[in-house]
């Protein structure tokens, strides 16, 4: 059945937030879990790294209590988990309330809860020590990618300028060139393989 957490996955990549099972409150709001009288429960299924999938059922207890109940399975053999997560409300500019999760571990307000393969419970990014993939990049690689981005923008702008010359675009063009060059210099200066005497 390819359940979550079937071993051999505990590596550095499992700490990358983009690769972890997530439950986003925006998705729950979008389907009306907190305001539609006919939607009391939602099932959210996520593909996992091992080719399986993870499904969590989210049941709202509003308006009786400010909580949702999560039911899901972990491990192999699968083990059922039931968890209650408190909700926190913020007032919206044009009236009404917007609901957020209170992280079950630290109680802080958050929009996304995560369930890494090594954990049994959903928690916020900080509580599960998750980082964004970009935070693992070396400074040289990051600068190189920024240079590439500037070069792509230059390409787009060159096409626009060829079609219709424009003084403002020309200034942007020059600024992008300087930016691309600066990022390339930063990248090369910090690149571990290159020794500049």
Binding residues (CB under 5 A) for Zn ion: these are 103, 105-106, 123-124, 127
Nearer to Zn ion, 10 or 108 (CB): 108
Nearest distance from C-beta of residue 177 to Zn ion, angstroms: 44
Sheet containing strand 67-74, strands side by side? 41-47, 53-60, 67-74, 79-91, 97-102, 109-110
The residue count of the chain comes to 197
Q: Measured from the CB of residue 67, what is the shortest distance to Zn ion in angstroms?
A: 16
- Least distance (Å) from Zn ion to the CB of residue 103? 3
CB of 100 to Zn ion, least distance (A): 12
Q: What's the min distance (Å) between Cβ of 126 and Zn ion?
A: 5
DSSP states of the chain:
---TT-SS--SGGGGBGGGSEEEEHHHHHHTTTTT-TT--EEEEEEE-TTS-EEEEEEEE-TTTSSEEEEEEEETTTTEEEEEEEEEEEEE-TTSSEEEEEEPTTT--EESEEEE-TT-SS-B-TTTTT-B-GGGGS-HHHHHHHHHHHHHHHHHHHHHHHHHS--HHHHHHHHHHHHHHHHHHHHHHHH-TT----
Choose between 106 and 194: whose C-beta lies nearer to Zn ion.
106
With respect to Zn ion, which residue has the nearer C-beta, 128 or 187?
A: 128
By C-beta, is 72 or 144 nearer to Zn ion?
72
Q: Based on CB atoms, which residue is closest to Zn ion, 84 or 178?
A: 84
- Least separation, in Å, of the C-beta of 113 and Zn ion? 9
Q: Which is nearer to Zn ion, 58 or 113 (CB)?
A: 113
């Amino acid at each position: 059945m390819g359940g979550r957490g079937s071993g051999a996955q505990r590596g550095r990549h499992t700490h990358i937030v983009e690769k972890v099972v997530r439950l986003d409150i925006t998705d729950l709001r979008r389907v009306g879990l907190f305001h539609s009288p006919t939607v009391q429960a939602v099932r959210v299924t996520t593909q996992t790294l091992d080719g399986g999938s993870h499904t969590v059922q989210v049941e709202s207890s509003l308006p009786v209590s400010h909580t949702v109940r999560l039911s899901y399975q972990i491990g192999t053999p699968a083990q059922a988990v039931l968890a209650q997560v408190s909700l926190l409300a913020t007032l919206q500019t044009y009236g009404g309330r917007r609901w957020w999760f209170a992280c079950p571990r630290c109680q802080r307000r958050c929009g996304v809860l995560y369930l890494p393969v090594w954990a049994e419970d959903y928690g916020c990014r900080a509580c599960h020590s998750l980082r964004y993939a970009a935070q693992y990049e070396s400074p040289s690689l990051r600068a190189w990618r920024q240079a590439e981005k500037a070069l792509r923008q230059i390409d787009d702008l060159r096409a626009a300028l060829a079609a219709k010359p424009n003084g403002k675009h020309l200034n942007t063009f020059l600024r992008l060139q300087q930016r691309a060059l600066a990022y390339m210099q930063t990248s090369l200066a910090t690149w571990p393989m290159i020794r500049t005497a």
